[in-house]
């Protein structure tokens, strides 16, 4: 009996492991996308601030 019980439990446990791995992959992907967005946004903001300083330095007074 225990052999039959183990055989029915294994596919489900593999499904659980696969779901856990898929979940971890999605979390890692989400973190990577968020980090890329923050890095891009920070550089965009820094470029805008640099542009303001550049235009202010060359303004006719």
Residue 4: the pLDDT is 55
Distance CA 45, CA 5 (A): 60
What tens digit of pLDDT does each residue of 2-57 get?
A: 555 555 557 777 777 776 777 777 788 889 999 999 999 999 999 999 999 999 99
**With the C-alpha atoms ordered 11, 14, 20, 21, is the resulting torsion angle positive or negative?**
negative
Identify which of 30, 27, 9 has the alpha carbon closest to the alpha carbon of residue 19. Answer: 27
Identify which of 56, 58, 60, 37 has the alpha carbon closest to the alpha carbon of residue 48. Answer: 56
């Amino acid at each position: 009996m225990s052999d039959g019980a183990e055989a029915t439990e294994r596919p489900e446990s593999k499904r659980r492991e696969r779901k856990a791995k898929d979940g971890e992959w999605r979390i890692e992907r989400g973190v990577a996308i968020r980090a890329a967005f923050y890095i891009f946004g920070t550089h965009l903001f820094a470029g805008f601030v640099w542009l303001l300083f550049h235009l202010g330095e060359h303004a006719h007074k």
